[in-house]
Structure formats: structure tokens, C-alpha cells
Amino acid sequence: MIKSSLSCRCKELILGSILGDGSLKIYKPYKNARFSFRHSIVQKEYFMWKAGEMKEISSENSIWEQTDKEGWGKNKLRYQSLATEELSEIYRLTHYHNRLRIRRKWLNMLTPLSLCVWWLDDGSLVSDCRQGVLCTDSFQYEQLLIIVRYFRKVWKLNPRIGRVAKSGPRSGQYRLWFRSSESLKKLFEIIMPHVPVPSMIPKVLILYKDPQLQERWISEMCKLSRFDRMTILPYLEKRKKSLAYYRE
């Protein structure tokens, strides 16, 4: 258990984010850790929500915009916290020799909010939005086995480990797959109440060709999330128009 003055909500967000786009690091000459993350400027709404949740560890200079130097065509928004002892406590729990160390000891501290941040950071809907994948490319296979056992035991979810590529330099990288819409629904029912901003609706918007099945999922989203039908429908139409499978 982390004993610090950080709020529970802040800890939950940090623990979820370091599995996704966030990081904890100790930079020389500082003795304490800083929490940081970045997102494309396209995800500004989500970025600003997350940064706003970090006020207790933030300074006036915690947010800035980075010019795109990687040729993707979009600038990045960057957040970096103050260096604090409370963050160092989380760092010592979750890291070993300056690398993220996956252990049940701290995975058991994840909450639905933590899982939500992890999915919004690194989760994607694929296969015409009927399957889902967590991009865990940097995790070792043995670490993913720990995560899979954690999902099965704690959340009754059963993600599968799959290679990023069958051959080549990425054949040693793995991702966590939710291979059916039913398994996705179980995950989304857990995290849906915590999806914070409308622009993240597409991350939990399972698509169906069957109008009745689609309507059931929209109703479920309205019931579980903070978003109403009129907010969800434009994202549904936009996503379907972008996929040939759903176009008339």
C-alpha cells in the first residue's frame, strides 16, 4: 500500500497511465520522481482532463506543446509534474533498475478508473470495431502473463497474448487482445463510467451491423457513461462512414 499525501484519485490515474502513455522517472540531479505523459494535439480534450486531475503535483510550467519532429504532422502536448517524495514512493513500488516492473503487488491496486486510463491511452478497437487490443509492445512476454492472470482473477476478463508480427524485428513484441465483442463489452462495462470526455467515446464504441444489437449497445453506453444518446450518435455515424464494412 502506498502511504502518502497524494489523493487516491491521483494515484489511480498514475498507476493506470504508467501502463499506457505515462512514465515515472528520476532525472539527475533530482532525488525524487516526476510523472509525465504526452498526447497528440488531436487528443487535447483528453490531455487537458488528465493534466487537470494532476493539480496537486503540478506547477505553472507543467504543460507545454512540442513541435512534431518525427514527421507525423501533429504537434504533441506534454505534461510533467513536480518532483515529489510521494511520486518516488510509487516509483519504488513499480520500477526496478529504472524500468517498469510488472508485479501483482501493485496491479492489485488498479481500480476501474486506472483501467479506463490505460485503455484510453493504449487501447484500440480493431477488426471493424468488434475486437480490441492493448498496445503492450514494450512489455516482455512474462510480464504479460502476470497481467493476464491478474485480469482473469480480479476482473473475470480473459485477454489473449498475440505477437505484433509473425516475423521480423517486431516478432518478439506482444499485445493483449480482446477477441470478441462480448469480451470487449465486459471490459467496457467496467471502465465506461469513468470515460471523461466526449472525444474518447470512439474508444468504447463497439459497432454492429445489426441495428438491434447496435441500439442495445448505445443504450448500455447511455446507462453506464456520462454521455447521452445525442452526444454518442455523431461519433457512431462518423465511425461507420469511415469503415467500408458498415457503409451501404
| Same domain, residue pair 121 and 86 | no
Across residues 127-144, what is the average pLDDT?
Answer: 95
What burial class does residue 217 get, using C-beta atoms within 10 Å of its C-beta: 0-12 exposed, 13-18 middle, 19+ buried?
Answer: buried
Across residues 87-112, what is the average pLDDT?
Answer: 96
| Same domain, residue pair 122 and 147 | yes
Q: So what's the pLDDT on residue 160?
A: 96
Per-residue pLDDT at 103 exceeds 70? yes
What span, in angstroms and rounded, lies between the C-alpha atoms of 69 and 21? Answer: 18
| Same domain, residue pair 157 and 61 | no
| Same domain, residue pair 84 and 143 | no
| Same domain, residue pair 131 and 240 | yes
In a domain, 2, yes or no: no
| Same domain, residue pair 95 and 177 | no
52: cell is: 487537470
Across residues 174-199, what is the average pLDDT?
Answer: 96
Query: Where residue 70 falls among pLDDT bands split at 50, 70, 90?
Result: low
Average pLDDT, the chain: 93
Q: Please identify, among 75, 101, 127, the residue that sits at the C-terminal boundary of a domain.
A: 101
Report how far apart the first and last C-alpha atoms of the chain are (Å, whole number): 53
In a domain, 1, yes or no: no
Query: Where residue 108 falls among pLDDT bands split at 50, 70, 90?
Result: very high
235: cell is: 461519433
pTM score, whole prediction: 0.94
Per-residue pLDDT at 3 exceeds 70? no
| Same domain, residue pair 175 and 239 | yes
In a domain, 34, yes or no: yes
What burial class does residue 123 get, using C-beta atoms within 10 Å of its C-beta: 0-12 exposed, 13-18 middle, 19+ buried?
Answer: buried
Where in the sequence is the domain holding 88, given as residue range(s)? 8-101
Which CATH number covers residue 179?
A: 3.10.28.10
| Same domain, residue pair 52 and 130 | no
